[in-house]
Amino acid sequence: MLRFFDLERIDAKKRDVVERTKDFDEIYEVFKPQKAGEQSDRCIQCGDPYCHNGCPLHNFIPQWLKATAHNDLEFAFALSNESSPFPEVMGRICPHDRLCEGSCTLNDGHGAITIGSVETFINEEGFKRGLKPTFSENQIDKKVAIIGAGPAGLSAATFLLREGISVEIFDKQNRAGGLLTYGIPGFKLDKHIVERRVKLLKEAGAIFHQGVEVGSDIAFEELAEKFDALFIGVGATKGRKSGLDGENAPNVYLAMDFLTTIQKKIFDEPRELDIDVRERKVLVIGGGDTAMDCVRTSLREKAKSIKCLYRRDAHNMPGSRKEYINAKEEGVEFEFHSSPKRLILNDDGKVIALEMIKTKLGSPDAGGRQRVEEIAGSEYTIDADIVIFALGFDSVDYPFLASNGIETDKWGGILVDENYETTTAGIYAGGDCHRGADLVVTAVRDGRDAAKAIAKKLIV
């Protein structure tokens, strides 16, 4: 260990920029064993590891780095699967720079350990060599219904199965995975990675009911009656509207509708919308990860030009720096300090341009973030064939919550106590429907910790 003196931090290699924009395949390569071992060997094995605290799952990072450096893949695989339901997913898509790697002691000029890439390697190499995560062999006579097969629901299912509790998962989409499947594009996360974990859950006994919407195809009350406990992980995917006149024009889309439609097209599944950006001028409004996914998807869908418009600057973008850099590398144009004022429609009611206004950053708000101020008289227009708004997400108002005594906060997030139990006994919740649109890793933590609390209550 301690090789940070003579070995530099090396990130996973990216595919050639021209090649990678021709398809939806992942852009990062998985480390080869030698590289993973060397990069793990840089770790200084801190007594009080900050990376462990920076990771929302409190993964056993120094321990699996040491095992990787010592070529003990079996132990590294077992450890990394102990606290996480699908480490190879988080290794790919966590904003590491803000979490584990951001907290690494070496992130002070020496270069943080490439924790995410090693985590991906351990699991990809482990699967390649036939390793599998373990589940309980002793079944107990208890069953839990999980509503939503996104990261929160899949995580809850994993940790309940490990306790010997049966699970049935109900999801309105055709495929499991939630936003891992229908939101996050394949160039960040290949869909086979998600399918492999779903298959393992099925082998461990999980029953999936896909294409079943709770509240319309099956009553919530029926599940509450039939199961010993319920976990709600329905996400928060209602796109925030801009509030501008004309936003309902047929060539104006919300980011989630756009990304889901393209993914369904790739899956060759029926879709509610028909969106074609080929040879069109696409404007994406927003500066977060979802906006980056929209611009990079438009590029792969062969749009004529793609511009991302954001009202703050690059430094103040809310998403991951890595994704902004990837988008820039791929040729996306950015226009900062620019905010939409008006959608300009033609006689057919289609948007043909956006009126924008220049902005500047003013005094900080209560949270310390600089406010955006419009610069009077700086309006200008940009032509557009397609406009995509990526302005964040609101909660979905499920009637079955209130009618079953499940209270929500002002935003609409499901209220839970320290055990993830809602205001109705025996009903638990976690992920974006509880905390608001956030991250895969936090949804996964909610699912894991809720499962542990459910097991504690059911196993007496």
Out of 172, 240, 341, 457, the only residue in the binding site for ligand FAD (CB under 6 A) is 172
Is 441 among the residues that bind ligand FAD (CB under 6 A)? yes
Is 232 among the residues that bind ligand FAD (CB under 6 A)? no
Q: Which residues of 205-230 are buried (b: 16+ CB within 10 A; e: fewer)?
A: ebebbeeeebeeebebeebbeebbbb
Tokens of 326: 């990837």
44 binds, among ligand FAD, ligand SF4, none (CB under 5 to 8 A by kind): none
Stretch that binds ligand FAD, among 3-11, 129-137, 170-178, 408-416 (CB under 6 A): 170-178
Q: Closest separation between CB of residue 59 and ligand SF4, Å?
A: 4
Is 298 among the residues that bind ligand SF4 (CB under 6 A)? no
Is 353 among the residues that bind ligand FAD (CB under 6 A)? no
Is 357 among the residues that bind ligand SF4 (CB under 6 A)? no
**What backbone phi and psi angles, to 5 degrees, belong to 342?**
-160, 140
Stretch that binds ligand SF4, among 30-38, 51-59, 194-202, 395-403 (CB under 6 A): 51-59
Q: Which residues of 135-158 are buried (b: 16+ CB within 10 A; e: fewer)?
A: beeeeeebbbbbbbbbbbbbbbbb
Print the binding letters for residues 277-316 with ligand FAD: x by CB under 6 A, - otherwise. ------------xx--x-----------------------
Residues β-bridged to residue 144: 167, 229
234 binds, among ligand FAD, ligand SF4, none (CB under 5 to 8 A by kind): ligand FAD
Q: How far apart are CA 177 and CA 205, in angstroms?
A: 17
Out of 13, 70, 438, 457, the only residue in the binding site for ligand FAD (CB under 6 A) is 438
Is 189 among the residues that bind ligand SF4 (CB under 6 A)? no
Tokens of 375: 């610069």
**What backbone phi and psi angles, to 5 degrees, belong to 372?**
-95, 130
230 binds, among ligand FAD, ligand SF4, none (CB under 5 to 8 A by kind): none
Is 94 among the residues that bind ligand SF4 (CB under 6 A)? yes
Out of 56, 151, 164, 340, the only residue in the binding site for ligand FAD (CB under 6 A) is 151
Is 126 among the residues that bind ligand FAD (CB under 6 A)? no
Comparison of 260 and 326: residue with beta carbon closer to ligand SF4: 326
Stretch that binds ligand FAD, among 66-74, 167-175, 324-332, 346-354 (CB under 6 A): 167-175
Out of 43, 161, 200, 234, the only residue in the binding site for ligand FAD (CB under 6 A) is 234
Give how far Cα 288 sits from Cα of 229, 284, 360, 392, 453, Å. 36, 11, 18, 8, 33
Which DSSP helix (H) or strand (E) runs through 191? helix 191-203
Coil, helix or strand for 396? Answer: coil
Print the binding letters for residues 394-433 with ligand FAD: x by CB under 6 A, - otherwise. -------------------------------------xxx
The dihedral over CA atoms of 92, 98, 104, 106, expressed in degrees to the nearest 10, equals 100
The residues, any chain, with a CB within 8 Å of residue 282's CB and separated by 6 or more, are 295, 298, 303, 304, 305, 306, 307, 384, 385, 386, 387, 388
Q: How far apart are CA 66 and CA 85, in angstroms?
A: 21
Residue 405's CB: how many other CB atoms inside 10 A?
11
> How many Å separate Cα 357 from the centre of its chain?
31
Is 85 among the residues that bind ligand FAD (CB under 6 A)? no
Stretch that binds ligand FAD, among 169-177, 276-284, 306-314, 345-353 (CB under 6 A): 169-177
Residues β-bridged to residue 207: 168
Coil, helix or strand for 136? Answer: coil
Is 65 among the residues that bind ligand SF4 (CB under 6 A)? no
Comparison of 357 and 453: residue with beta carbon closer to ligand FAD: 453
Which DSSP helix (H) or strand (E) runs through 254? strand 252-254
Instruction: Name the residues that contact ligand FAD, by CB under 6 A.
Output: 93-94, 147-153, 170-173, 178-179, 183-184, 188, 213-215, 233-235, 237, 256, 259, 289-290, 293, 431-433, 437-441, 443
List residues binding ligand SF4 (CB under 6 A): 55, 57, 59, 61, 84, 90-91, 94, 96, 99-100, 115-116, 119, 441
